[in-house]
Amino acid sequence: MNKFTGYRCSLCGNEYLPGQVTYTCPKDGGNLDVIPDYDFIKRKFHPEDITSRTEASLWRYLPLLTVNEPAGDSTPMHAAGWTPVFSLPRLADKLGLKHLWLKDESRNPTASFKDRASAVVVTRAREVKAEVVVTASTGNAGAALAGMSAAVGQKAVIFAPKSAPQAKVAQLLVFGAKVILVDGTYDDAFDLTVKAADEFGWYCRNTGYNPFTLEGKKTAAFEIWEWWLATHRDWHKKDSPLDNHSPLSIFVSVGDGNIISGIHKGFKDLLALGWIPTMPRIIGVQAEGSAAIANAFYDNTETITPVSATTIADSISVDLPRDGVRAVRAARETTGTYITVSDGEIIQAIAELGKMGVFAEPAGATAYAGLVKAASLGLVKGEDPVLVLNTGSGLKDVRAAMQAVQPAPIIEPTLEAVKKIL
């Protein structure tokens, strides 16, 4: 049984029944939104039915998900999501903010936000009885697909650019996926994957192509909602300094635009159910060298013009974003905005987060780099509550991490040498 009523094209608005389409709109190639059965959910569930659950993973949101529960329990598939939120008072001070938090997605089972998407897509793949799931990836989407597939014994094939960081390639291989490195860019790998899926009848997970990646990614919004409910019960009390606080600003790094669109979708679901009164502000951060979506946002258009992407943040290095239109809307419809940051600012952000005990890969630190810039521009200030996502672990790209720090000295094993260095 399908747990959704159909799909709606984000471009032409055309609706399709569950069996009519699989990936994008047949008319215009637009990204499809999976339509949950809102009436059913509304009738059957209340927020407390979710918040009282003990499941510490994204599967606690099963009533709001458009797939059924995966087979088996306590596999790594059940460790996706439910990531911690840390408060960062020292960084807040530096930025002139009072309320700054970071949600650490590097705690996911394969160490990036992508596990949310892959857990749900692999579950969908089992529902449609797919023999093989395939994805193009700059590394993390593949690692997540490989890891979640391994967890439930699903066959997976990954196409990645041959320039993908070693640690990510190692993950793919260790999880036992069939790994094919493409002598080309992520975009080349993407197109090849779509062709291969078509040719061999594989189920394609590609980001911004398979509608269920968004369904996984929206769970981060549900967690932010629950965290907000749990930690801010007092905000409306009489003497609370946050009595008239502005909405939560959420900073998220953007490549294809699927994470930001997923977070937007999650909050739209909650709004449609009447479970939240208003939307948070969603602020997308792109690398200057890979800013096709930010460009469209600033040009006030939904036409995404490809760029020739170059940035140290490999996970958000994208020529042609595959979920650009919804990503533009995520900021536009929530009074958010887009920020672009240089590679130097990204590296600096790795160093600053590191000193708070958070080890981010370049694309993960990009969101914080965007906040630094937004604060300097006065886009967020003072009492504004701010949540930054770290989307991936620094262990994914150790070479980039080393650029954020001074190399350690090497000394003779004597106390004299130690004294000299101190």
Ligand X SMILES: *Cc1c(COP(=O)(O)O)cnc(C)c1O
Of 221 and 259, CB closest to ligand X: 259
The answer to whether residues 257 and 277 touch, using CB atoms and an 8 Å cutoff, is no
The answer to whether residues 392 and 364 touch, using CB atoms and an 8 Å cutoff, is yes
Of 50 and 291, CB closest to ligand X: 291
Residue 170 CB, nearest distance to ligand X (Å)? 16
Residue 283 CB, nearest distance to ligand X (Å)? 13
The answer to whether residues 110 and 170 touch, using CB atoms and an 8 Å cutoff, is no
Residue 321 CB, nearest distance to ligand X (Å)? 7
Regarding 325 and contact with ligand X (CB under 6 A), the answer is no
Residue 53 CB, nearest distance to ligand X (Å)? 27
Regarding 148 and contact with ligand X (CB under 6 A), the answer is no
**Scanning residues 28 to 87, which ones bind Zn ion (CB under 5 A)?**
28, 30
116 has which bridge partners?
none
Q: Which one of 187, 223, 343, 361 is in contact with ligand X (CB under 6 A)?
A: 361
- Interatomic CA distance for residues 250 and 224, integer angstroms: 9
Residue 19 CB, nearest distance to ligand X (Å)? 27
**Scanning residues 5 to 34, which ones bind Zn ion (CB under 5 A)?**
9, 11-12, 14, 25, 27-28, 30
Q: Which of 63, 104, 108 is nearest to 227 (CA)?
A: 104
Assign 165 to helix, strand or coil.
coil
Residue 258 contact, options ligand X, Zn ion, none, Cβ 5-8 Å cut-off depending on partner type: ligand X
The answer to whether residues 367 and 251 touch, using CB atoms and an 8 Å cutoff, is yes
The answer to whether residues 259 and 304 touch, using CB atoms and an 8 Å cutoff, is no
Task: Identify the sign of the CA torsion 38, 40, 42, 44.
Answer: negative
- Interatomic CA distance for residues 336 and 327, integer angstroms: 11
- Interatomic CA distance for residues 417 and 404, integer angstroms: 26
Regarding 65 and contact with ligand X (CB under 6 A), the answer is no
- Give the phi and the psi of residue 369 in degrees, each rounded to 5: -55, -40
- Interatomic CA distance for residues 70 and 342, integer angstroms: 41
Query: Which x/- pattern over 202-221 shows residues binding ligand X (rule: CB under 6 A)?
Result: -----x--------------
Q: What is the DSSP string of 7-28?
A: EEETTT--EE-TTT-SSB-TTT
**With CB under 6 A as the contact rule, which of the stretches 160-168, 248-256, 296-304, 341-349 interacts with ligand X?**
248-256
- Interatomic CA distance for residues 206 and 212, integer angstroms: 10
**With CB under 6 A as the contact rule, which of the stretches 22-30, 189-197, 253-261, 401-409 interacts with ligand X?**
253-261
Regarding 254 and contact with ligand X (CB under 6 A), the answer is yes
Span between the terminal Cα atoms of the chain, in Å: 66
**CB atoms inside a 10 Å sphere around CB 176:** 14
**With CB under 6 A as the contact rule, which of the stretches 196-204, 257-265, 267-275, 304-312 interacts with ligand X?**
257-265
**CB atoms inside a 10 Å sphere around CB 16:** 16
Q: Which one of 36, 70, 385, 392 is in contact with ligand X (CB under 6 A)?
A: 392
Query: Which x/- pattern over 94-133 shows residues binding ligand X (rule: CB under 6 A)?
Result: ------------------xxx-------------------
Which token pair is 310? 């170059």
Regarding 317 and contact with ligand X (CB under 6 A), the answer is no
Residue 163 contact, options ligand X, Zn ion, none, Cβ 5-8 Å cut-off depending on partner type: none
Residue 137 contact, options Zn ion, ligand X, none, Cβ 5-8 Å cut-off depending on partner type: none
Regarding 140 and contact with ligand X (CB under 6 A), the answer is yes
* Alpha helix positions (H), 84-136: 89-95, 114-127
Of 70 and 321, CB closest to ligand X: 321
**Scanning residues 280 to 299, which ones bind ligand X (CB under 6 A)?**
none
Q: Which one of 256, 345, 384, 397 is in contact with ligand X (CB under 6 A)?
A: 256
Can you give the binding site for ligand X, defined by CB under 6 A? 112-114, 140, 207, 253-259, 315-316, 361, 363-364, 391-392
Can you give the binding site for Zn ion, defined by CB under 5 A? 9, 11-12, 14, 25, 27-28, 30
